[in-house]
Homo-oligomer: A and B are copies of this chain.
Amino acid sequence: MTGTYRGRFFEDFSLGETIPHGPPRTVTEGDCALYTALYGSRFAIHSSTPAAQALGYQRAPLDDLLVFHIVFGQSVSGVSLNAVANLGYADCRFLAPVYPGETLYAMSTVIGLKENSNRKTGVVYVRTEGFKEGGGRVLGYVRWVMVRKREPKAPVAPPEVPTLPDQVAFENLEVPEGVKVTAQNVDHLHGGYWEAHTPGDRIDHLDGMTIEEAEHQMATRLYHNTARVHFNQHVEKEGRFGRRIVYGGHIISIARALSFNGLSGAFRTAAINGGAHTAPSFAGDTIYAWSEVLEKVELTDRNDVGALRLRTVATKDQACEDFPYKDSEGRYDPAVVLDLDYTVLLPRRWWLAPLSPSSS
Contact = CB atoms under 8 A, between A and B. Distances in A.
Interface of A: 1-6, 22-26, 28-34, 36-40, 42-44, 47-51, 60, 100-101, 103, 133, 190-193, 196, 203-210, 212-215, 217-222, 224, 226, 228, 231-235, 244, 261-262, 264-265, 284, 286, 317-319
A122 B191 CA distance: 29
A23 B42 contact: yes
Contacts of A39: 221
Contacts of A226: 40, 42, 207
A34 B217 CA distance: 12
Contacts of A38: 218, 221
Contacts of A5: 261-262, 264
A218 B196 CA distance: 32
Contact of A262 (B3, B192, B196): B3
A328 to B, nearest CB: 26
Nearest to A220: B40
Nearest to A286: B234
A210 to B, nearest CB: 4
B36 A51 contact: no
Best-surrounded residue of A133, A215, A264 (most CB of chain B within 10 A): A215
A207 B190 contact: no
A60 B23 CA distance: 13
Given A1-B264, A2-B192, A37-B221, 13 more contacts: A2-B196, A5-B262, A25-B47, A26-B49, A31-B33, A31-B36, A33-B222, A34-B37, A42-B226, A49-B101, A50-B103, A207-B226, A208-B228
Contacts of A196: 1-2
B218 A37 contact: yes
Given A29-B30, A47-B24, A231 B212 contact: no
A33 B30 contact: yes
A203 B4 CA distance: 7
A150 B215 CA distance: 35
Contact of A261 (B4, B26, B40): B4
A38 B190 CA distance: 29
B224 A40 contact: yes
B219 A37 contact: yes
Contacts of A265: 1
A164 to B, nearest CB: 30
A44 B23 contact: yes
Contacts of A235: 208, 286, 319
Nearest to A316: B234
A44 B24 CA distance: 7
18 contacts: A3-B262, A23-B51, A24-B44, A28-B30, A28-B32, A30-B30, A30-B33, A40-B220, A47-B224, A49-B103, A50-B103, A207-B232, A208-B228, A208-B231, A208-B234, A210-B244, A214-B214, A234-B318
Contact of A4 (B22, B47, B193, B262): B262
A191 B318 CA distance: 46
Contact of A34 (B34, B206, B207): B34
A29 to B, nearest CB: 4
